[in-house]
Structure 1
């Protein structure tokens, strides 16, 4: 965690701030309902935003990932999927000016889907249902365009000299990710793709005859492990403040997801 500033007043205890953030998003309560024993809600709120902007939450998560990789505890069979989170009316009234830097998307990762105003969270999990990377987009965004934004998020630093590991051995995904661009992307990176082909794609390939090419390889036995990402999403949905988005800024909502990811890795 960041050290105290050289000048000015010392920061409040990091542990109490983390406990305040966990309590807020675990219960889904408003900031002003934070219990007095957890400190000032302004302190927790400002620190969540400050460390979201400077990337502190992602750096702390990378420390957990590096420790797990050193202990050979990461299952490098990655599963990819997404989930839709409804937006509360507190999140709907966003300001057009956005966040304090350019990392905030113009639409604040809010969009209209069948369920109304919502946000979609894209996950990549390891074999043990723990998050390796996550990204937030608008609720109506498709899974295929977001795939190439989630995969670069897999970046596990090495405890010894060398570049971080960014490539899982295998990627499991459902039919929504069956596209030529995704299969090509994984093939170029030397990653095995286990993605079922939809019936319409298979029929189109057969109608083209020889020009349609061969059917993509698929491992039915390996595909049974895809439930890992479903269990990972279920862990996040147990946090009421994450199952329904109540925060206005996408960068803060993603930071709260990283806080939950820290606890998932710390407990397993």
Structure 2
């Protein structure tokens, strides 16, 4: 059986220095590149772990590596370094779009043990909830102006966009090579009507970020009914808002992996780690 691989030599040259070294004591790591290919194959095909081809090694190794490197924050650190390298070359588009997508949860994603979770990074509800009578997970993300993910957060399917907005924005942290604080402020943020609230506008204004967020009809009607007592409507650039399709394209790129288009993981930390790996491979291709 021949397996189609996705990590090229050029991509691996960027990723390999960022992978953890062998432990001082104990067994050495299995080959990192083969293990990453195994994880990518599983989520590209949406196959069960036990169906992993023999050429990619034991499925237990790939599954433990995915969760282990998520618990210690390795996936997030690798993505941050790749983003920093892209920012040095002015390849990060700082007109950021924020949106969410609801992913249907497979029946295999239910039934996670209440005890033995990886740690505080795993939410109590495992980011599973019901909306439209189905078990769902919602993926909140921010993308740059070239449809590449900058920050990702996973919540239960019934969670709203507005409560998760500030946390998604807080996860945009691109380190600088050398001295200086990480870059965290986009020039412009584009978001949908679900993110239109005074708190969000106040949050962006306080940070000096231009907001391009349309108001829903009920907010407009409420303001008009108040007459002079109503607050001034927030500024809205309709022409600039047309660029918000970048986040939709980013979501479509992530959903090319069938294991991300539908959730089969019992643990939210595993599903989010797979999203981070997909983002790492997207940024390593540049």
Quickly name the TM-score band, shorter chain normalised: over 0.9
1:260 corresponding residue in structure 2: 278
Q: Distance in 2 between matches of 1:93 and 1:49?
A: 18
Are 1:65 and 2:83 counterparts? yes
- 1:124–1:151: 8 Å Cα contact kept in structure 2? yes
Are 1:221 and 2:213 counterparts? no
Identify the range of structure 1 (206-215 vs 245-254) with the bigger mean alpha-carbon deviation.
Answer: 206-215
**Map 1:166-177 → 2, pairs under 5 A:** 166-177=184-195
Q: Distance in 1 between matches of 2:70 and 2:208?
A: 32
Deviation (angstroms), 1:199 = 1.6
Cα RMSD (Å): 0.9
Identify the range of structure 1 (161-170 vs 207-216) with the bigger mean alpha-carbon deviation.
Answer: 207-216
Deviation (angstroms), 1:98 = 5.4
Q: Distance in 2 between matches of 1:215 and 1:6?
A: 60
Deviation (angstroms), 1:149 = 1.4
- 1:109–1:136: 8 Å Cα contact kept in structure 2? yes
Q: Structure 1 residue aligned with 2:146, among 124, 128, 147?
A: 128
Are 1:251 and 2:233 counterparts? no
Are 1:41 and 2:63 counterparts? no
* Partner secondary structure for residue 251 of structure 2: helix
Q: Distance in 2 between matches of 1:116 and 1:42?
A: 30
Deviation (angstroms), 1:92 = 1.1
Q: Unpaired segments of 5 or more residues in structure 1? A: none
Q: Distance in 2 between matches of 1:143 and 1:174?
A: 9
Q: Unpaired segments of 5 or more residues in structure 2? A: 1-18
Q: Distance in 2 between matches of 1:158 and 1:227?
A: 28
Are 1:203 and 2:246 counterparts? no
Q: Distance in 2 between matches of 1:244 and 1:98?
A: 24
Deviation (angstroms), 1:211 = 1.7
Q: Structure 2 residue aligned with 1:18, among 31, 36, 41?
A: 36
2:248 corresponding residue in structure 1: 230
**Map 1:179-190 → 2, pairs under 5 A:** 179-190=197-208
Are 1:51 and 2:69 counterparts? yes
Equivalent pairs, count = 268
2:180 corresponding residue in structure 1: 162
Q: Distance in 2 between matches of 1:55 and 1:264?
A: 19
Cα displacement string for residues 22-70 of structure 1 (whole angstroms, at most 9, x for unaligned residues): 0000110010111111111111111111101000000000011000000
* Partner secondary structure for residue 119 of structure 2: coil
Identify the range of structure 1 (204-213 vs 27-36) with the bigger mean alpha-carbon deviation.
Answer: 204-213
1:90 corresponding residue in structure 2: 108
- 1:98–1:104: 8 Å Cα contact kept in structure 2? no
> TM-score when scaled to structure 1?
0.98
1:117 corresponding residue in structure 2: 135
Cα displacement string for residues 228-262 of structure 1 (whole angstroms, at most 9, x for unaligned residues): 00000001111111111101000111001000001
- 1:172–1:226: 8 Å Cα contact kept in structure 2? yes
